[in-house]
Amino acid sequence: MRLSLCIVMALTLTAQAAERNRAFEAGRDYYMLADFKKAAAFFQVFCNTKDDAEACYWTGMSYERQADVSTPFGCKSDAKAHEYFSKAMKLAPGLPAYRDALFDFLLDTGDCSRKALREAAGMLSAMPESDPDYSVMRSRLEEARHQNASWNERLATLFLIVPRTTSRIAASPAAVVTNKAAERSPR
């Protein structure tokens, strides 16, 4: 009786592994064809139902790529990618690939979320300085902070220049002539 129960359990596990492999193969095929929405759907099933770290990682990758190609400001897909990268890292904290994927993602999306660089800094502070990747990650974080500050300065300058430029254009002689002509024309 016990032997038959063991055989049934082994067959069930084998069938589940085969199902996972088929889904992963289909998901990777869609990913390679740049159909990231379908790829995410295949991986997401195993991430959400089986707490499969690799499936969560690939779901995050699919949403990240979907954000890259769908819109210039794909912050909605980026939020989903963040969720799945974080879940992959929590499910398999010992795998540096998942940590690196989340860290890279946070650095790349610093413009979508003000919290992203803070979260990356938090990840770095939780790492031991003896970690072989620590110094590289630290320098990349500093570079991302510098770039983000540079963009913020440029935007602030732009918002200061636009009102001045607009008022100068409105006060120019050509604008006055155009405005007077518009007032005279019948409607």
Query: Model confidence over 155-175: pLDDT tens digits?
Result: 555 555 555 555 555 555 555
Contact 140, 107 (CB under 8 A): yes
Core vs surface per residue 145-168: b (16+ CB within 10 A) or e: eeebeeeeeeeeeeeeeeeeeeee
- pLDDT attached to residue 126: 92
User: Cα torsion at 51, 57, 62, 66 (round to 10°)?
Assistant: 110
CA–CA distance from 7 to each of 16, 17, 21 (Å)? 14, 15, 21
Model confidence band, residue 178 (pLDDT cutoffs 50, 70, 90): low
Query: Model confidence over 35-83: pLDDT tens digits?
Result: 999 999 989 988 888 889 999 999 999 998 887 765 555 566 688 889 9
Other C-beta atoms lying within 10 Å of the C-beta of residue 141: 19
Q: In the structure encoding, which two tokens stand for residue 41, read together?
A: 């759907």
Chain center to CA of 14: 34
Locus of tokens 């935007």 = 155
Alpha carbons within 13 angstroms on the beta-carbon side of residue 27 total: 25
- Calculate helix-pair angle for 36-50, 75-91, nearest 10 degrees: 40
Q: Please report, in angstroms and rounded to a whole number, the separation of the first and last CA atoms in the chain.
A: 95
Query: Model confidence over 115-154: pLDDT tens digits?
Result: 888 999 999 999 999 999 999 999 999 998 888 776 555 5
Alpha carbons within 13 angstroms on the beta-carbon side of residue 69 total: 11
Which overall architecture, per CATH, does domain 2-184 show? Alpha Horseshoe (1.25)
